Structure 1
Amino acid sequence: MQFILVTYDIENDRRRTKIHKVLEGYGVAVQYSVFECFVSDEDYAGLRIRLRKLMDPKHPADSIRYYHLCRGCVEKVDIDGTRPFEVASPFIIS
C-alpha cells in the first residue's frame, strides 16, 4: 500500500469533472484538484490508466502529477486549520 498525493490541472471543465469523479473513488479531496490517496499497487496502476484516458495529452495545459509519500513524510504532514487528516491507512499519525 502506498500514500499518494495526486494533483491535476485540466483546462477543459468536462474532462476536469470526470477526473475529479474518478479520484473520489480512490481518495479524499483536500482541495478541488488535490487528492490524498492510500492505494495498493494494483489500484494505483488502474487509477493511472483511467486518468490517462480522460486527459488530453495533446493539450499543453493538461497534467496530472502523482507524489509518492513515504511513511516518514506522511507522519510529518503539518495542517493549519480544522479539517482533519482523513486518509484511512495503516500509518499511525500522531
Structure 2
Amino acid sequence: MFYLVCFDIVDDRDRRRAVKIIGEYGYRVQKSVFECPGLNEKRFLKMRNRLEETIDSLWDTVRFYRLCKGCVQETEFVGVGEPPKTALARIF
C-alpha cells in the first residue's frame, strides 16, 4: 500500500528523529511530507508505533493517508518534483 505521511512536530530533536524514522520507510517530497510506497500492514504499524513513541502527543501530530494504486496514479502537482513512485528504489 502507498502511504502519504505528514507531520507537524514542535521540538527540533523529536522532528529530526521522526524524519529519520519515516525516511527508513519512504522518501521526503516536502519538508514535512513523505511518500511511503509498498508498505505492508506490518511495516506500516512498526513505523507508526515508532513515531508514537517519538512525538509529544500533546503538541505534535503525524497523519497517515493510505492511497490506493488508482489514487496514486491520479496525483497531480505543480512546480518542481516528480510524480509519486510506486516502489522504493532502495532495498531494506
Shared topology, TM-score over 0.5? Answer: yes
Partner of residue 42, structure 1: 42
Runs of 4+ in 1 over 3 A off after TM superposition: none
8 A contact 2:4–2:67 mirrored in 1:
yes
Partner of residue 62, structure 1: 60
Bigger shift: 64-73 or 74-83?
74-83
User: Structure 2 length as normaliser, TM-score?
Assistant: 0.86
Mark the CA change 1:88 to 1:72 in structure 2 (over 3 Å): closer, same or farther: closer
Between the two proteins, what is the percent identity of the paired residues? 36
Matched, 1:77 2:69: no
* Count of aligned positions: 86
Query: Considering only CA atoms, is the larger Rg found in Structure 1 or Structure 2?
Result: 1
The two structures, once aligned, show a CA RMSD in angstroms of: 1.3
1:66: Cα distance to partner? 0.3
Partners of 2:64 and 2:40 in 1: CA distance: 14
Unmatched 5+ stretches in structure 2:
88-92
Unmatched 5+ stretches in structure 1:
90-94
